[in-house]
Amino acid sequence: MAYSTDFRKCVIENLEAGKTWEEVTSIFSISRATLSHWVKLNKKKGSVEDSPRAPYKVRKIDSKVLICALERTPDATLKELANEFNCWPHAISRRLKKLGITRKKNHPICRER
């Protein structure tokens, strides 16, 4: 759970007012590591706000695009498809399984035996 900016400012103000680290950590029930992080943040940026989160990477492989890629190159390996989609081969395998597409090849020579 993240602490509010007001709470962080209050903690830093108490520390700057002359209280010791032990007093501040016991009064506000925070760890020394948290306090250390906030002090470093305050010195570095001039405020105790966290940096904004980076946007999330889209993780799902688009089904239509995957099917089009398979139609273009039906004998592509999972590794080749993974390079095209910039992901791991296992992710392609899982997506194909959800779509109900098998990657096994049925060769007529193998069936005769």
The pLDDT tens digits for 78-95 are 999 999 998 999 999 999
Chain CA centroid to CA 34, Å: 22
97 residue type, one letter:
K
**Residue 32 near residue 21 (C-beta atoms within 8 A):** yes
Torsion of CA 98, 102, 103, 109, to 10 degrees: 170
pTM for the model stands at: 0.51
Helix 32-45 to helix 21-28 angle, to the nearest 10 degrees?
Answer: 110
% of the chain at pLDDT higher than 90: 58
**Residue 66 near residue 81 (C-beta atoms within 8 A):** yes
